[in-house]
Structure 1
């Protein structure tokens, strides 16, 4: 019973994040969707301690993104900044691989000509 409740919570969080990504600029959505899918897949077999931390951090991400999207409603996407700075305290707990991954994500998300050349359908 506890396992099915856990799976339900993970799926709910995962789906909510992907729904929130629909409101991001198209290139950030593509980057974010892929990152979220990879991370959730990568942590399927994580230990209970890792899962607790993983879920807490993704819950914070979801809440932050939801707040930023609500605050940005009506503004032009090009003028809106998404994300949050990480404290030194949080960075101290990152493994070298996570620091590298974070750096790669930062590089990709700040490129003037992002890898994704996706255009929204004009109506």
Structure 2
């Protein structure tokens, strides 16, 4: 189901290909298990052929990245506006709150997820 390509020693594999081979009714569960094994093996590149699993994984990776970036950018903007315009609490406070909120959601939901170490390089249309 998953093709692990590595050097054979204890190093993580260079890439893992999760092939879209439907051998039985529970093939989707097999794909998900193959993805878990690839993430546990800390493969540098994971190629996901099953469209549904690829779309779900891509969505969650992009969502986590968006939360992280929103937290950082709104925090920096809050500090910059606070430094440049210290009397503009109507701008500073919402930006700071957004930063803390996004950082909190990211910390609880995504920080320890092994997918957060990956980026979506390319998705092919169906």
Q: Which has the higher helix share?
A: 1
TM-score by length of 1: 0.29
TM-score by length of 2: 0.29
Which structure exhibits the higher relative contact order, with contacts defined as CA atoms closer than 8 Å and separated by 6 or more residues? 1
